[in-house]
Amino acid sequence: MENVTADPRQLTPALLALEDGRIFPCRSFTGHGEASGEIVFNTGMTGYQEILTDPSYVGQMVTMTYPLIGNYGVNPEDMESDMVRAEAVIVKEYESEPSNYCAAETLATFLRRHGKMGIEGLDTRALTLHIRKAGAMRAFVSTMNLNPRSCVKKAQAVLSMQGRDLTRSASTVKPYRWLEGRKLLMDFSLERPDAGIWRFKGAKPSVAAFDFGIKHNILRCLEAAGFEIIVIPPTIRADAVRAMAPDGIFLSNGPGDPEPADYAIQTIRELMGFRPMFGICLGHQLMALALGGKTYKLKFGHRGSNQPVKNLRTGQVEITSQNHGFSVDPAGLDAREVEITHINLNDDTMEGFRHRRLPLMAVQYHPEASPGPHDAGYLFAEFRQMTQQ
């Protein structure tokens, strides 16, 4: 373990430019570099490591609204994937000397090791208010180019999130078994799998988990609910999933616009009714699209650990963790077939649904993140119950 207080401050002048011409002079606490992507904000007071390693942040630079970041360091247990997925993190003040017995390294060292930028020294409240008013937009940050006009042009040249399929860059290309919190790569053919791949058939319900950018804690929660889990790539064909003969199918979270992932939408459509299916976040959106629904881009998205969601079946309110920039339009779903089960109490957007005849359910938020802390944990138990009926 390194000395977590030994973090040489590399406060390098930088410039953050937004596509609409707004600029923010700032500093890099990770040395020289450049980064670009859609700029968004997260309202969580803690959880910066989980946020930065969440594959749903591929293609985005994350602004933390809490002003002091880095004060508890980074540790191996809090990873949500194998690497930093966000393009950069933007904070008001970076703390270079963490105080936490779990800390294995500083945030700056962690970011440098993964080749990502850390930016501080700007008014993140002003930046957040600007995003809330103008919407999430493309941005560019650099320590090597401090010319405002040039940086704005580079921001305007960044690819839009809308219309981009980012799931392939955030997911596995090979299937793997998730067992006791570890990935075990598998060598079976995706063209010719069979039901013999399950080690605990009959003793545990089995689930084939589509990886569109899956978080580790989702897999931990599925395992804690008693499932045997095999994670499969997003491009796997429906007939291959049928040959696996799982007891249930899980659709994971992931980054970007769901509509361009037409291959996944078609596969999900073909598998509906074959086995019980549960979707989270992007999985929720893809399932809705497979049912003939529509999605749209939110102005600035939902990103944080304090989003209130009402369960329309029970009347209870759940405090939820969320990270999404697109939402399902409930008007596009057939109310005779689909029941809306959850809504967001901040803006009344759709947060969950179930099919009235088929064993399908989905939620837009992240029940595994547990900010409630256990408000939404019942969903994994309900999914298991669905697979055993």
pTM: 0.95
Asked whether residue 3 is assigned to any structural domain, the reply reads: no
- Of residues 284, 342, 355, 366, which has the active-site annotation? 366
Residues 192 and 304 in one domain: yes
Domain, as residue range, for 353: 167-387
Residues 125 and 274 in one domain: no
The Cβ of residue 187 has, within 10 Å, a number of other Cβ atoms equal to 6
Half-sphere exposure of 50 (CA within 13 A, CB side): 22
Q: Please confirm, yes or no, whether 281 is among the known catalytic residues.
A: yes
Residue 196 contacts by C-beta under 8 Å, 6 or more apart in sequence?
Answer: none
Asked whether residue 6 is assigned to any structural domain, the reply reads: no
pLDDT given for residue 6 in this prediction: 47
pLDDT given for residue 1 in this prediction: 37
pLDDT given for residue 193 in this prediction: 87
- In the sheet with 360-363, reading across from the earlier edge strand, the strands are 182-185, 176-179, 228-232, 206-210, 248-251, 277-280, 360-363, 350-355, 338-344, 294-311, 317-329
Distance, in Å, from the CA atom of 239 to the CA atom of 228, rounded to the nearest integer, reads 20
Joined tokens for residue 328? 């399902």
CA angle at 67 for the pair 309 and 80, rounded to the nearest 5°: 55
Residue appearing with tokens 């405002």: 148
Out of 96, 131, 156, a domain closes at 156
Residues 49 and 22 in one domain: yes
Q: Which residues of the chain have pLDDT under 70?
A: 1-10
Do the Cβ atoms of 348 and 208 come closer than 8 Å? no
What is the count of structural domains for the chain? 2
Q: How far is CA 140 from the centre of its chain?
A: 22
Inter-helix orientation angle 378-387/216-224, to 10°: 60
Out of 128, 156, 184, a domain closes at 156
Joined tokens for residue 72? 């508890």
Asked whether residue 238 is assigned to any structural domain, the reply reads: yes
**CA distances (Å), 301 to each of 5, 89, 252, 362, 365, in order?**
35, 17, 18, 19, 12
The number of residues in the chain equals 389
User: Domain containing 372 — which CATH number?
Assistant: 3.40.50.880
Joined tokens for residue 221? 């929660």
Q: What is residue 206's DSSP assignment?
A: E
**CA distances (Å), 374 to each of 42, 199, 346, 367, 377, in order?**
21, 30, 20, 8, 5
- Of residues 87, 95, 281, 351, which has the active-site annotation? 281
pLDDT given for residue 10 in this prediction: 62
**CA distances (Å), 172 to each of 41, 213, 257, 259, 314, in order?**
27, 8, 18, 20, 37
Tens of pLDDT, residues 58-94: 999 999 999 999 999 999 999 999 999 999 999 999 9
Out of 156, 181, 202, a domain closes at 156
